[in-house]
Structure 1
Amino acid sequence: MDNRYKLIVLATVCAFITINPANAQKEGGTLIVGMDRPMTGFDSSMNPRPEYNRRNAMLPIYEDLFARDKAGKIVPVLGASFKNSQDQKTWTVTLKKGIKFANGEAFNASAYEEHFKRYQSSKAWGFLRGMVGPIKQVVAIDSHTIEFRMLRPFPAFEAILSNPVYPMWANAPKHSVTVGKELNRQPVGTGPYMLSKWTPGVSLTYVKNPHYRNPKIQHLDKIIFKVIKGELPRLNSVKSGAIDVMLTRDGKTANQAKQDPNLQVITELVGGTTTIEFNTSRPPLNDVRVRKALAHAVNRRADLKASNDGFGIPSTDWFGPSSKWYCGGKTGYPEFNPKKAKGLLMAYGKPVKFKMVTMPIKNFIVGAKLHQTFWKRMGVEVDLKVVPPGPAYFRAVRSGQFDAWLVGISEAVDPGLQGQAFYSKNRSNSTKSNFPEVDAALQKAWRSVKDEAARKAAYCNYVSA
């Protein structure tokens, strides 16, 4: 038996679409952005909800330690420099001096020490650690030097330091201690804007941060995020001028907008996937023949057409063609082949029935139902349930209530980060992956800290495994 398909991820790459009136670009004034769901809070220790609306609402307030230019080179933002220790377990970051938070508080290393103490003492830490890596402790060595101490070598941390990973965004430390749980509603970052008003379920208003070090990039006087539920109502709001910009991942909405000559549509193929993951520890999904059959049964191009109006590409790993980590489509992902699917299910010789859960997101629900239909044609019975996103969803997954679930992995930054979820000894291994060849490939990737080519080869190897 070919064991390469011990873990099958059914994936499609999503499109990220921005729509705005072509004549609305000007300096100053107020920009009104339409968002499709209410903001749930800014403190990720209380509210780790991983969805792009929440992250977009945080972006005006916070900044990264480092960023990457168009060529992929790391450039300083809040950090001045960083280095890794010889044993590859300690990352030392030197911060820039003279920066202030929006409340006038000095920006220093204690901000990150306080930030991670709050995280690590919260119920959300198990989830957040999956986004920032195996951090054991964060220590302020002096006023502008931080050490991120890891449980094991973790080369992916360079990507976390230099990408917009929201659990890394720190608040003013004294303010954080003073307001306590109210930090979820009273964020204070170093970014160009600060929260002025929040009307729950209605809107968020941002004004200029008076202490921002580079006023030249504060192009707008005010930003308003306005909640308008539904793709069509938001699109009509752009057309009427009630809002200036809308963000969507719905391909049908983007195609509708492209028909209007007064609108400008900017599309971006993000480096992430929508996946269906399996609990591989119990029947029927503990059998590689069943998992491989389920993959062969799905026409993923039809999935993209139905769920996202054709936007995106069928993916073979977590990274798109524009990423340096892309495996070139050579991971051996099963092609659409109903005949092979039926043959594998016949070889299994037992009825296949399992429970699957998805979030109440349009693309997810359409995709989940389409998979359910493809599998039903093969005689597979799937009980599908919709659970709200956030902690409740991931508790449902980790509790073992379900055998399969949809997960959006948006803008994957490094294979070492996603790989944690499939390492047998990792507590966040929700798929219950326990395959020696996958563990071996991951361990090799983590050891190859300074050899990027070896890391990529190991990554592509564990995806194939």
Structure 2
Amino acid sequence: MLKNKITQSLLLGAGLAFAATSLTATAAEVPAGVKLAKTQEIVRGNGTEVASLDPHKTEGVPESHVIRDLMEGLVNQDANGKTIPGVAESWETADNKTFIFNLRKDAKWSNGDPVTAHDFEYSFKRVVDPATAAPYAWYMEMTTMINASDIIAGKKDKDSLGIKAIDDYTLEIKLESAVPYFVMMMGHTTVKPVHQATVEKFGDKWTRPDNFVGNGAYTVDQWVVNERISLTRNEKYWDDSKTVINKVTFLPIENQVAEMNRFLSGEIDITYELPNEHFRRLQKEHKEDVSITGNLCTYYYAFNTEKAPFNDVRVRQALSYAIDRDIITKALLGQGQKNAYAFTPEIISGFTPELPDYAKLTQKQRIEKAKSLLAEAGFDKSKPLSFNLLYNTSENHKKNAIAITSMWKKSLGIDVTLENQEWKSFLDSKRQGNFDVTRAGWCGDYNEPSTFLSLMQSTNSSNDAHYKSKSYDELMQQALATTSDAARNDIYLKAETLLAKDMPIAPIYQYVKARLLSPQVGGYPTNNAEEQIFTKDLYIIAD
């Protein structure tokens, strides 16, 4: 995606029709001479128990890893992040506002039903329907699909959404504003289709193994909550003949040391991550198993801007300034992570965020400024600031929290109580604003700055900080209406500058993805910045 996004934007931005007929959908491509193992099964660590397998009711990375194998949208990504056909064989547009997707006629659901344009029309309308309560409904607003905002707000009926099945295999989508990267956005979990008859028959229980119907390369075989989710090949999948892995099992392991030990004992082929304190030892003793790749993600802390004292920008700035990012990235993590002072990571395609003024100071200068800001806000030794820091259950998140709260205690005299919650409760607490400061991370949904910057718009339901700025919202609307990439990037720079000034969040570091990966796993996408891993593209190499 790093190179191909620019190419597609130039074509579409110029108002030229773009068709995907020159692109090729891929499955596992085993290099000549590679001997495959007799047993083609793979086990993956997945970080935590998934909140759901319904693509319209999820918002996390662990869920996306599983759903990517179970559901196929209009487009996919290849190992290099390039947008390639999924259910749609080709697509075209003349103005970046009306898109026609031509669907393949051999796509089927796991029960044998054909996958049609009507499935996508039903599914997109389901996402924006307030009755669904989709946590990612805002994503449809970001596409500017006609009437999406009003439907989500309850002002219009879902049937007025700008999507129409022209016939069984032709889908028309209309936008209110030109969006040159719209096709790229169609690879996200939220816009994957669901099987209408199954959803309507079983309701929330449709994702249970006995009820499940999907259109991806795999289907649900077994789901033991807090233990494992096992998927087996969907023989009805249109490209099943090229799939090599017969079974994939996802394990919800929150303790990175336990996950590491299970990998080293041969129980796991791909870990979700690795324990930071063991990184250097693993690199030395198991170098062939350590995988480090760039990742389109930013780790940050969000301040509850609707709750005192975090409704005071001076308090937010002071806490951000006092975080010594060098200690986090170099001493605590040390895997190649970069200090983050802007929300958008540098790995993003076609845009380079600028360092804000506070980032150009020494850490000593930042701490002095932080002390001054806290004093202005009414906090000092006689009246110390105290609050809770929320994070989801994870040893790595806990270590980060301990390090950062120690910095706040040492430099500013602040008392912080750590509060950890399991994933589902954590998501609920953030969404409802039941926190003071919370750990957060954001991974791009597509390779363009708006995938990060739109998160801070006041209308975005995933805006953890509950940040509301008319000036910021106006900037993002201007960016959406701009056809020039250069002009849009100028607006993005202004948006980053405003975030650094208002500090609703404290960016801490830009991710790399460090994990343990068995050398026997072939086809792993090391150049995919969004870490879109499709099990259908993998294979197990013989010893």
Partner of 2:39: 29
Deviation at 1:444, TM superposition (A): 1.4
- Offset of 1:198 from its aligned partner? 2.6
In the alignment, is the contact (CA less than 8 A) between 1:111 and 1:172 conserved in 2?
yes
Q: How far apart, in 2, do the equivalents of 1:113 and 1:42 lie? A: 20
Q: Give the aligned residue type for 2:204.
A: K
Q: Deviations over 1:182-235 (max 9, x none)?
A: 222244333222222333333333222212333453112322334555323332
Question: For the Cα contact (< 8 Å) 2:75–2:85, is it kept in 1?
Answer: yes
Aligned residue in 2 for 1:444: 478
Distance 1:333-1:211 versus aligned 2 partners, 3 A rule: farther
Correspondence for 1:74 among 47, 71, 83: 83
Counterpart in the other structure of 2:198: 175
Please give the alpha-carbon distance, in whole angstroms, between the structure 1 residues aligned to 2:64 and 2:471.
35
After the TM superposition, which residues 282-431 of structure 1 pair with which residues of structure 2 at under 5 Å, given as runs? 282-305=307-330, 308-332=333-357, 334=359, 335=361, 336=363, 337-350=366-379, 351=383, 352-376=385-409, 377-390=411-424, 392-413=425-446, 414-426=448-460, 429-431=463-465
Q: CA deviation at 1:312?
A: 1.5
Aligned to 1:453: 486
Q: What displacement does 1:254 show?
A: 4.4
Contact 2:301 2:437 in 1 (8 A): yes
- Between stretches 58-67 and 151-160, larger displacement belongs to 151-160
Distance of aligned partners of 1:72 and 1:167 in 2 relative to their CA distance in 1, 3 Å threshold:
closer
Label 1:177 to 1:298 Cα distance change in 2 as closer, same or farther (>3 A).
same
Amino acid at match of 1:37: T
- Confirm or deny that 1:231 pairs with 2:264: no
Letter of the 2:201 counterpart: T
Q: 1:456 Cα deviation (Å)?
A: 2.1
SS in 2 for 1:259: helix
For 2:41, give the aligned amino acid: L
**Given residue 100 of structure 1, which amino acid in structure 2 is its aligned partner?**
K
Deviation at 1:237, TM superposition (A): 2.6
* Partner AA of 2:373 in structure 1: L
CA offsets 1:332-372 (integer angstroms, 9 cap, x no match): 45353212211222333445444432212222222223222
Contact kept in structure 1, 2:341 and 2:356, CA below 8 Å? yes
Size of the aligned set, in residue pairs, is: 435
Gaps of 5+ in 1: 1-23
Q: Does 1:142 align with 2:151?
A: no
Distance 1:290 1:250, change over 3 A: same
Alignment of 1:75-224 (within 5 A): 75-83=84-92, 91-121=99-129, 125=133, 127-134=135-142, 136=148, 137=161, 138-148=163-173, 157-161=182-186, 163=187, 165-186=188-209, 187-224=212-249
1:49-60 pair list within 5 angstroms: 49-50=59-60, 52-60=61-69
- Which string of whole-angstrom CA distances, capped at 9 and with x for unpartnered residues, describes residues 248-288 of structure 1? 15444544433335842221121101111123345433333
Q: CA deviation at 1:298?
A: 0.7
CA distance in 1, matches of 2:326, 2:335: 8
| In 2: Cα distance, 1:236 partner to 1:426 partner | 39
TM-score, normalization by structure 1: 0.81
Query: Residues 407 and 196 of structure 1: is their aligned pair in 2 closer, same or farther, counting only changes over 3 Å?
Result: same
What stretches of structure 2 of length at least 5 have no aligned partner?
1-33, 149-160, 499-543
Give 1:110's aligned amino acid: H
| Cα 1:84/1:292, change in 2 over 3 Å | farther
Q: Which residue of 2 aligns with 1:274?
A: 299
CA distance in 1, matches of 2:287, 2:346: 31
Across the aligned residues of Structure 1 and Structure 2, the Cα RMSD in angstroms comes to 3.2
CA distance in 2, matches of 1:430, 1:258: 35
SS in 1 for 2:54: coil
Partner residue of 2:58?
A: 48
> In the alignment, residue 445 of structure 1 is paired with which amino acid?
A
Larger mean Cα displacement after TM superposition, 89-98 or 284-293: 89-98
Closer/same/farther in 2, CA of residues 256 and 33 from structure 1, 3 Å limit: farther
User: For each residue in 1:69-113, what CA deviation from the matched residue of structure 2 results, as whole angstroms up to 9, or x when unmatched?
Assistant: 577653322223345685x66554332222112221101112222
Q: What letter corresponds to residue 98 of structure 1 in structure 2?
A: D
Contact 1:420–1:428, Cα closer than 8 Å, also in 2: no
Structure 1 residues 370, 178: CA separation in 2 closer, same or farther (over 3 Å shift)?
A: same
SS in 2 for 1:245: coil
Q: Is the 8 A contact 2:136 2:190 kept in 1?
A: yes
Question: Which residue in the other structure is 1:19 paired with?
Answer: none
After TM superposition, the score normalised by the length of structure 2 is 0.70
| 1: CA distance, partners of 2:399 / 2:224 | 31
CA distance in 2, matches of 1:325, 1:333: 24
Identify if the C-alpha distance between structure 1 residues 61 and 183 changes in structure 2 by more than 3 Å, giving closer, same or farther. Answer: same
Please give the secondary structure, in 2, of the residue aligned with 1:237.
Answer: helix
Give a deviation string over 1:105-141, Cα, whole Å, max 9, x none.
1011122223234434466635212344445224433
**Match of 1:285, SS?**
coil
What's the % identity of the aligned pairs? 22
CA separation of 1:198 and 1:332: change in aligned 2, threshold 3 A: same
In 1, Cα distance between equivalents of 2:215 and 2:39? 21
Residue pair 1:358, 1:386 contacting (<8 A) in 2 also: yes
The alpha-carbon distance between structure 1 residues 204 and 37, as it changes in their structure 2 partners (threshold 3 A), is same
**Counterparts of 1:73 and 1:254, CA distance in 2:** 31
Q: Distance in 2 between matches of 1:251 and 1:330?
A: 27
Q: Is the 8 A contact 2:393 2:422 kept in 1?
A: yes
| Cα pair 1:126 1:428 within 8 Å, conserved | no
Question: Does the CA contact (< 8 Å) of 2:58 and 2:134 recur in 1?
Answer: no
* SS of equivalent residue, structure 2 residue 439: strand
